[in-house]
Structure 1
Amino acid sequence: MRSFVVVCTIGFLSATAFQKLRERAHSDPVPPAAPVAAGPAVDGAVVGVALQAGRNGHFFVRALMDGRMLPMMVDTGASSCAFSEEDAERIGIRLEPRDFTRVWNTANGTVPVAPIRVAVMQVGSITVRDVEAVVIPRGRLATSLLGMSFLKRLRDFSVSGGTMTLRG
């Protein structure tokens, strides 16, 4: 009986700690992307943005898709942009279980994904069209990811200290 109580207590504490971490990750405000001069500007247009690292050291953006703003974490280790199913619904993408036709290997194991294409993604002054992405089933991804299917389409991106600069 004592072992059962200990196991239940540990399980409860672990679940509570995990929930607090998720809440903290979602409550960290995403600072707005700051425009930067990134080489020759065309007709005075700014062609780059600077991102400041959050308290956890990660870089976050607010990506605009189809008129809707979505917070995303920049992930150079993700081969594609990845949306949680919840975030996909927020930007107007509705999926059926049959749409999850591929399997991705992630740091947390394998997960079914639904391949999609995003017509236009905008981060600050940078616009990328026809971006490959995937949707990950409900409850499996806490924060949508701005991956390499967007980043490799930029002229370049770099990190110096606590600043990531994207150049379109």
Structure 2
Amino acid sequence: MSTDQIMQLTYLVLLAAAIGGAAIVAGRGNMGKMAQQAAIWVLIFVGIIGAYGLWEDISNDVNPRQAIIDDSTVAAPRGNDGHYHLTLDINGAAIDFVVDTGASQVVLSQQDAARIGIDPASLNFSGMANTANGVVRTAPVMLERVVLGGITDRNIPAVVNGGAMDASLLGMTYLGLYDRIEIADGQLVLSR
């Protein structure tokens, strides 16, 4: 323990003694009720300390996140919706993707395209794609800079979906750049 930590602990002990002493003096006529209230406050205090100490574990269970294992490997836990999600830096903007090995291309929603500097109104939606929701129009684009963890790629072909999408899809034009794609124990691991 450092000197600062010892001083902080001493301060907290003295503060607790002062508050406890004041409570005893104020409640000396009804000690049973005072003991009950003190026990409740102790339990609340212990609960807060426990929640604070476990907060990282709780938040990872509720909202799992991707992890960079090293410069060439990224892992993502399965999300609560059963899908794998990755956040990539596209042209300087963080874009959330659903990993979709069934998608042949990287497919951007119009909102995500606008976030990376592409004006959907200026695109030529000349392509067609068969989706679970039917046939949609697509516009080809080139992603200048794509970063995932320590991996940077340039000039990745993609399309902007002409229809409504909940999330952008990370398809095989990007996933195919990896040497290994592994799904095991509820985790997706991409390695180069």
TM over 0.5: yes
- After the TM superposition, which parts of structure 1 deviate over 3 Å for at least 4 consecutive aligned residues? 29-32
Assess if the C-alpha contact under 8 Å between 1:157 and 1:164 holds in 2.
Answer: yes
Deviation track 1:124-159 (CA, whole Å, cap 9, x = no partner) reads 222222111100125x11100111000001122110
**Partner of residue 79 from structure 2, selected from 43, 54, 61:** 54
Cα separation, partners in 2 of 1:91 and 1:63, compared to 1, 3 Å: same
- Structure 2 partner of 1:151: 175
Cα separation, partners in 2 of 1:32 and 1:125, compared to 1, 3 Å: farther
Assess if the C-alpha contact under 8 Å between 1:30 and 1:61 holds in 2.
Answer: no
Equivalences for residues 17-96 of structure 1 within 5 A = 31-37=64-70, 46-96=71-121
The gaps in structure 2 that reach 5 residues or longer are 1-61
The gaps in structure 1 that reach 5 residues or longer are 1-28, 38-45
Q: Helix, strand or coil for the counterpart of 2:173?
A: helix
Structure 2: distance between partners of 1:36 and 1:156: 14
Q: Helix, strand or coil for the counterpart of 1:93?
A: coil
Q: Helix, strand or coil for the counterpart of 1:61?
A: strand
Assess if the C-alpha contact under 8 Å between 1:102 and 1:112 holds in 2.
Answer: yes
Q: TM-score, normalised by structure 1?
A: 0.72
Deviation track 1:42-97 (CA, whole Å, cap 9, x = no partner) reads xxxx2111101101111101110111101111100000000011110011111336
Amino acid at match of 1:64: D
- Structure 2 partner of 1:18: none
Q: Helix, strand or coil for the counterpart of 1:86?
A: helix
Q: TM-score, normalised by structure 2?
A: 0.64
Structure 1: distance between partners of 2:112 and 2:63: 15
Structure 2: distance between partners of 1:125 and 1:31: 20
RMSD over aligned CA atoms reads: 1.7
Structure 2: distance between partners of 1:60 and 1:30: 11
- Structure 2 partner of 1:17: none
Could you say which structure has the greater relative contact order, defined with CA pairs below 8 angstroms and 6 or more residues apart? Answer: 1
Q: Helix, strand or coil for the counterpart of 1:78?
A: coil
